[in-house]
Amino acid sequence: MLDKVENCMNVCLAPCPVVFDLDGTLINSAPDIHGCVNAVLGQHGTPLLTLDQVRSFIGGGVDVLWQKIIAARELEDAKKPDYIAAFMTCYQDATQLTHLFPGVEDALQTLADRGHPLGICTNKPLAVTRAILAHFGILDLFGCVIGGDSVPERKPHPAPLRAALQGLGADPRQPRALYVGDSEFDAACAAAVPMPFLIYTEGYRQTPVGELPHLAPFDDFARLPALVEMQTAA
């Protein structure tokens, strides 16, 4: 697989901008999301969901999350705005169960120290995204943060990722950059730009890795700086 990275023709020039997804890529937020989802369901006397169920619903943003919850529990779709409002009230300060994946902070710092402009492109609302990054002390590492409400479209539409690239000074139509994510939404978004995609295999993906378009997979953030440098030198 490393040979594939070395031989890829979609190269970037050093320092190569690197944009990251958030949930399932940099942070494991599923436990807090699960807790807030069940708090809302409990308020309405609805049977609760398991952590695995909620984890499988993450990636498309809050609206998609609740579309899937409503379908799973056969709830009234007309009440979705009320569910979302109650969820956001709970979730805006929910960080107790969320944590960075192992090696994330060191990998980000290494890339920043090497001069790589770093960005975030997530479907999570911007205010919550910035609050979580600040909570973990890594907000200042990112030159551009695009949330699910920063532009009208959400991933897998390419517009949010192009906005992040433009914010980092890259050409949003022909970017010499990398996107790092974990899910089907991320893979499709990168392909739509198009740009090279590195997939973190320990996140919330439901589809086998081999079925998603990607440049290289990795399961340990200690490997990420080397993968990025190989792409830069290709």
Residues labelled catalytic: 21
Q: Is the peptide bond before 47 cis (omega within 30 degrees of 0)?
A: no
- Reduce the DSSP state of residue 105 to 3 states and report it: helix
Place of tokens 């709970």: 90
Residue 152 backbone phi and psi in degrees, to 5: -60, -35
Please give the span between the terminal C-alpha atoms of the chain, in angstroms, as a whole number: 14
The neighbouring-strand residues paired with 18 are: 118, 178
Specify the length of the chain in residues: 234
For residues 37, 43, 45 and 51, what is the CA-based torsion angle, rounded to 10 degrees? 20
The neighbouring-strand residues paired with 200 are: 218
Helix (H) or strand (E) holding 4: helix 2-7
CA atoms of 109 and 93, how far apart (whole Å): 25
The neighbouring-strand residues paired with 217 are: 199
Residue 18 backbone phi and psi in degrees, to 5: -130, 120
CA atoms of 18 and 35, how far apart (whole Å): 31
CA atoms of 35 and 101, how far apart (whole Å): 19
